[in-house]
Chains A and B, each alone.
Chain A
């Protein structure tokens, strides 16, 4: 066994950035202690945030942070996909378009002229979109930011050829297992915990506040039912639209719900219509 591994070349890792805050790459750097142990087994071929070394592809694993928001990005992600055997997106920007995807509901010209005096010199698409809208993605790691332990698990899993062990239940389950009092039921605060994927350890509810969806929608969730419940508790549709249209607002489940809420701003809820 030892002889066999010794004769095998090290898997090559590359890290790429698109529109983002760098926070997810920072989680990788924070895991540097472990990363350096990993560095004995993995060749870090490109990680610009950390190293001047830039080795050309192909790579065994590419980690992509950030969303696609310029014409150049659209081209670059295609080339990266071709270079990477496994492509994993890390964080809300790469997985759902990120907070900057709020512009997808606006007019890009207004956004440009609000910030820049000469908007014509800026390369910006009208939308900020997730990587998977442009190329096939092998695994999406959620979180704003991603959790460093989950990140290391994904890296080692891909390199070992097993499925990453990332939970698919909702934040609600983590909250219950921590014994945290429910902010939605006990305090009437609209909370996205029931529909958001676990991973943070129910951080916000344990700090007396609502979950605002850093990990994006969990599988098979019913947002209509949840926002209907909050409306009965007295929350306005405008408030609920903002809550759902946040960090992961452009992910499909959240996007459909905020669009529905906005289309019927003071309207009768779907349930009542039925």
Chain B
């Protein structure tokens, strides 16, 4: 008899939402490698039907308390296309500033409190604080700075209330925006040091031939706009398409072990990667200068093929967010006018994608004759990454089978956390479990 080992973790800690890992291995054969998301479904796509356009960003924000801005931004842009309106460059600029705040707070939370404890050998950020007080303190300060940026533009850090289709309910105060500059300059310096320090973390070895998928902008690091671009891989061709063609190339599929749908490339039916690593693999030449230099200097190799190195990509993006935000804030000389573009309710359809902290976030809406939502479709980054997580697990397992159960499980959990999965976003949640049946083990031949 060949030994059967099971690695199960449910629920998974230090991730956003409820998820689990389920692995079963017999000898060297991987029988099951599942990233389960069992977060209860909340049916946002259905409960948006019949609502007014203006209500949509307030509702979609509630999909995720960690990245509400992303859900508001993708919704607003898609609905503006459906309504046939375009916002001014000044409104777009403040939206980017708002989004920088979200990237900074979301990444700061993940890097410092959720992910770093894995590398440094702690159960939590609280536990890490005793021996690494500076790291934890800076993490909390950077998180608070990201929140502050969101508050200045959006009125509230979690579920901002000043964001609306067409712009803002009230012009964000230019005085308040400029006051952010010194803090953002501190943030940039702190993040640049952070890049060097997380780049020195020892990472488990794993090489994956990723198909990276992200938005790409002509000149800027991708955030609120751009073409959908894929690097391609040994299995798939590269791609450069308008967001309107997204559904022709990518499809969601329901799998029995998850309340979140899996996304795959159509045709090849293969997983792909979205998020900070994919963005850096595709658009590192568009990083602002100081973040770009830090990425260059820290020894990160491109394309990034080791998922554990995502912590470095996040740190670089935090630096980029501070650098971009400081640039925008310095230019805020007067309150913007107009701060909102008006529209009339009408029928129409529109889709848009923006780059949430965790990756590409696609929204599509159809409005009826009265301008109410007739149909909504939302594809969050975590459901897109889910299939890739499972493929990475399969790649990782052969190298951890020599380890004891606890360590093997820990490596699997750490891999899943590298993706910063957002299970509430994915409509469901993740649990990782690794357990070896003792009886089966004793009978094992190994």
Residues of A at the B interface (CB closer than 8 Å) are: 17-27, 29-30, 32-33, 35-36, 39, 44, 47-54, 69-70, 73, 98-100, 102-103, 106, 110-112, 114-118, 121-124, 128, 144-145, 200, 203-204, 206-209, 212, 214, 239, 242, 246-247
Q: Judging by beta carbons under 8 Å apart, are B58 and A212 in contact?
A: yes
Which 7 A-B pairs rank lowest in CB-CB distance, beginning with the nearest? A23-B65, A51-B124, A100-B42, A52-B13, A21-B65, A102-B47, A114-B46
5 contacts between A and B (CB under 8 A): A114-B45, A115-B45, A207-B162, A208-B170, A242-B52
* Bound: A49/B51 CA distance, A: 32
A22 to B421, CA, bound (A): 13
- Whether B140 contacts A33 by the Cβ 8 Å rule is yes
Cα–Cα distance between A49 and B164 once the two chains are bound (Å)? 30
- B341 interfacial by beta-carbon distance below 8 Å: no
Q: A21-B64, A102-B47, A106-B46 are in contact. Are A246 and B55 (CB under 8 A)?
A: yes
Contact with A along B15-58 (1 / 0, CB 8 A): 11110000000000000000000011111111100111001001
Tell me which residues across on chain A come within 8 A of B68, comparing CB atoms: 21, 23
Q: Which residues of B contact A (CB under 8 A)?
A: 11-18, 39-47, 50-52, 55, 58-59, 62-66, 68, 109, 113-114, 117, 123-127, 129, 136, 140, 143-144, 147, 155-159, 161-162, 164, 169-170, 253-254, 256, 259, 261, 413, 424, 427
Q: Does B140 lie within 8 Å of A50, measured CB to CB?
A: no
How many angstroms from the CA of A3 to the CA of B55 in the assembled complex? 56
A124 touches B40 (CB 8 A): yes
Give every chain B residue within 8 A of A18 (Cβ-Cβ): 40
Interface contact A69-B13, CB-CB below 8 Å: no
Nearest-CB distance from B55 to chain A (Å)?
7
Residues from chain B with Cβ under 8 Å of A239 in the complex: 52
The docked-state distance in angstroms from the alpha carbon of A242 to that of B51 is 7
Least CB distance, B412 to chain A, in whole angstroms = 13
* CB pair B43 A114 closer than 8 Å: yes
Q: Nearest CB to that of B105 among chain A residues?
A: A30
> What is the distance, in angstroms, from B9's C-beta to the closest C-beta of chain A?
9
Excluding A27-B158, A99-B42, A114-B43, 20 further A-B contacts by CB distance (< 8 Å) are A17-B17, A17-B18, A23-B68, A29-B109, A29-B113, A30-B144, A30-B147, A36-B129, A50-B125, A51-B124, A69-B40, A70-B40, A98-B62, A103-B43, A103-B47, A106-B46, A114-B46, A116-B41, A123-B40, A242-B55
Picked from B16, B50, B127, B254, the residue with its CB within 8 Å of the CB of A49 is B16
A200 to B157, CA, bound (A): 12
Q: Are A21 and B62 neighbours in the complex by a CB distance under 8 Å?
A: yes
The 8 Å CB contact of A144, one of B62, B123, B254, B259, is: B62
Q: Which residues of B contact A116 (CB under 8 A)?
A: 41, 254, 261
Q: Which of A22, A115, A206, A209 contacts B46 (CB 8 A)?
A: A115
Nearest to A114 among chain B residues (CB) is B46
- Interface pair A52/B124, CB less than 8 Å apart: yes
Contacts of A111 in B (CB 8 A): 43, 46-47
Q: How far is the CA of A102 from the CA of B164 in the complex (A)?
A: 21
Taking a contact as CB atoms under 8 Å apart, the answer to whether A26 and B47 are in contact is no
**Complex contacts, B161 vs chain A, CB 8 Å:** 203-204, 207, 209
* Distance (whole angstroms) from the CB of B366 to the closest CB of chain A: 13
Which residues from A are CB-within-8-Å of B63? Answer: 21
Query: Complex Cα distance A144/B158, Å?
Result: 8
Q: In whole angstroms, how far apart are the Cα atoms of A38 and B425 in the complex?
A: 30
Residues of A within 8 A of B256 (CB): 118, 121
Given contact pairs A18-B40, A100-B43, A209-B169, A32 touches B124 in the complex (Cβ within 8 A) = no
Instruction: Decide if A22 touches B124 in the complex (CB within 8 Å).
Output: no
| Residue in B closest to A65 when the chains form the complex, CB atoms | B65
Specify which chain A residues have a CB less than 8 angstroms from the CB of B16 in the assembled complex: 22, 49
Task: Given A51-B126, A242-B52, answer yes or no on A32-B170 (Cβ-Cβ < 8 Å).
Answer: no
**Structural contact, B43 and A19, CB atoms closer than 8 A:** no
Among B39, B52, B127, B170, the residue within 8 A (CB) of A51 is B127
A23–B124 Cα gap in the complex (Å)? 19
- B-side contacts of A49, CB under 8 Å: 13-16
Q: In the docked arrangement, what's the CA distance between A51 and B36, Å?
A: 19
**Residues of chain A lying within 8 A (CB to CB) of residue B64:** 21-23
Q: Do A115 and B41 touch (CB < 8 A)?
A: yes
| Max chain A Cβ within 10 angstroms of own Cβ: one of B13, B16, B43 | B43
Residue numbers in B under 8 Å from A247 (CB-CB): 58, 62
Q: Say whether B169 contacts A22, CB under 8 Å.
A: no
Cα-based distance from A98 to B44 in the complex (angstroms): 12
**Cβ–Cβ < 8 Å partners of B13 in chain A:** 48-49, 51-54
Contact (Cβ within 8 A) A19 B39: yes
Nearest CB of chain A from residue B340's CB, rounded to whole Å: 10
Contact A39 to B126, CB < 8 A, known contacts A26-B66, A30-B147, A117-B254: yes
- Write the chain B residue with the least CB distance to A26: B65
Q: A24 to nearest B CB, angstroms?
A: 7
**Beta-carbon contact of A30 and B157 below 8 Å:** yes
Q: Which of A30, A115, A118 interacts with B427 by CB under 8 Å?
A: A115
The complex places the Cα of A33 from the Cα of B55 at a distance, in Å, of 34
Select from chain A the residue with minimum beta-carbon distance to B163. A207
Q: Which residues of A contact B39 (CB under 8 A)?
A: 19
CA distance A124 to B43 in the complex (A): 10
Beta-carbon contact of A73 and B62 below 8 Å: no
Closest chain A CB from B370 CB (angstroms)? 10
